[in-house]
Amino acid sequence: MYQTTIKKSVELVGIGLHKGSPVRLRLEPLESNSGIVFYRSDVGVSILLKPENVVDTKMATVIGKDGNLISTIEHLLSAVYAYGIDNLRVIVDADEIPVMDGSSASFCMLLDEAGVVEQDLAKKVMIIKKEVIIKSGDKYVKLSPAPDLKYDFTIKFPHPVIQNQEFSLEFSKQKYKDEISKARTFGFLHEVQYLRSKGLALGGSLENAIVLDEKRVLNPEGLRFENEFVRHKILDAIGDMSLIGMNFIGNYEAMAGSHDLNHKLTVELLKEKENYEIIELVGEKTKELEKAYA
C-alpha cells in the first residue's frame, strides 16, 4: 500500500465560525513524505501538522507559528484522515477553516471531487503497542493495542435531549461517510450569546451547528441522527488524532473527551517510543487496511 495525495487541486469558500467572514480554502497535492501542511496565504506562513504546533484547545484545535494561527482544523482533518490521505497542502486566506454546515460532509464532497491517488513510497502506519491514557476527573481518553481501528465514545450531558450517549465506530472510510461525517457540532444558546459578547462565534448559526436551549433543539429541521451529539464527538476525535502524523491501528476510547484531552493524548503517545511502532505497509499486511480506505 502506498502513500496518497489528491489527484487535483480543489477549493471552496465558506464562513469562518468566529469572525463570520468568508474564508477561501484550497487543497493541493504534495509529494510523498510531506505530511499535512497548512499555509496562510494572507500572511505567507506555513504550519506543519504536528502536536508541538498546537497552541489552543479550549473550543477547537488551533495550530500556530510565530503568532499566526489557524483555528477549527479538526473537521477538515477528520475527513482527510478518514480518506487515508498522507500528503496534502491546505491553503486558507484567514485564521480559521470555514465551518461549512458544522460537520465534515462538505470536506468529504471536496475530497471526492479531488480524487485520491497513490504515490511512489510505501504508506507508514503507527501500531499502538501499549495503553496510553489521559485522565481529568472522571473524564478520560485512551489508546490501546488492537488488530484494527475502532473509536468508542461516551458523553453525559444534563440536558433532556442529550443525556447519556454512546457510539462505537469500527472504522472504514464508507462507515465514516455514512455514520459520522454528517454529524454537526453543537452548542447551547447561553454559550453562543456569551461568545458573541466576546466577539467570537460571529459566524455561528442554525445553518452550521445544532443549537439547544434549556429543553430542546432549536434547529427547525431537528437532528440528523438521534445520537448526533456523540457521533460528532467521534468526528472531532478522528480529526484531533490526525496530529499523530499518520493513520494508526488501535482502539481509541473516550469518556467525555475533549480537544484538550485528545491533544494531551497525542503528546503522551509520542513521548515514549515503546508506546508505538511505525511500519511500512508492504505485502500481505496491507490487505485489511486497503479495504478500510477503499
CATH number at residue 202: 3.30.1700.10
* pLDDT given for residue 294 in this prediction: 67
Which string of b and e fits 181-208 if b means at least 16 CB within 10 Å?
Answer: bbbbbbbbeeebeebeeeebbebbbeeb
3-class SS of residue 31 = coil
pTM of the shown model? 0.94
DSSP 198: T
Which string of b and e fits 55-81 if b means at least 16 CB within 10 Å?
Answer: bebebbbbbbbeebbbbbbbbbbbbbb
Going residue by residue through the chain, which has 294 residues, state the pLDDT in tens, using 9 for 90 and above. Answer: 899 999 999 999 999 887 788 999 999 999 999 999 999 999 999 999 999 999 999 889 999 999 999 999 999 999 999 999 999 999 999 999 999 999 999 999 999 999 999 999 999 999 999 999 999 999 999 999 999 999 999 999 999 999 999 999 999 999 999 999 999 999 888 877 777 777 666 777 889 999 999 999 999 999 999 999 999 999 999 999 999 999 999 999 999 999 999 999 999 999 999 999 999 987 666 676 777 776
List Cβ neighbours of 101 (8 Å cut-off, separation of 6 or more): 184, 207, 208
d(CA 271, CA 253) in angstroms, rounded, equals 19
Largest CA distance in the chain: 57
β-bridge mates for residue 142, sequence order: 133, 253
Query: Which residue segment(s) compose the domain that 258 sits in?
Result: 2-292
Residue whose C-alpha cell reads 513524505 in the numeric block: 33
First to last CA, the chain: 12
Relative to beta strand 124-128, strand 248-255 is: parallel
Catalytic annotation on 259?
Answer: yes
Contact assessment for residue 77 and residue 63, using Cβ atoms and an 8 Å cutoff: no
* pLDDT given for residue 137 in this prediction: 96
* pLDDT given for residue 288 in this prediction: 67
Domain count, the chain: 1
Contact assessment for residue 75 and residue 239, using Cβ atoms and an 8 Å cutoff: yes
C-alpha grid cell, residue 266: 497525542
C-alpha grid cell, residue 241: 488524532
* pLDDT given for residue 189 in this prediction: 85
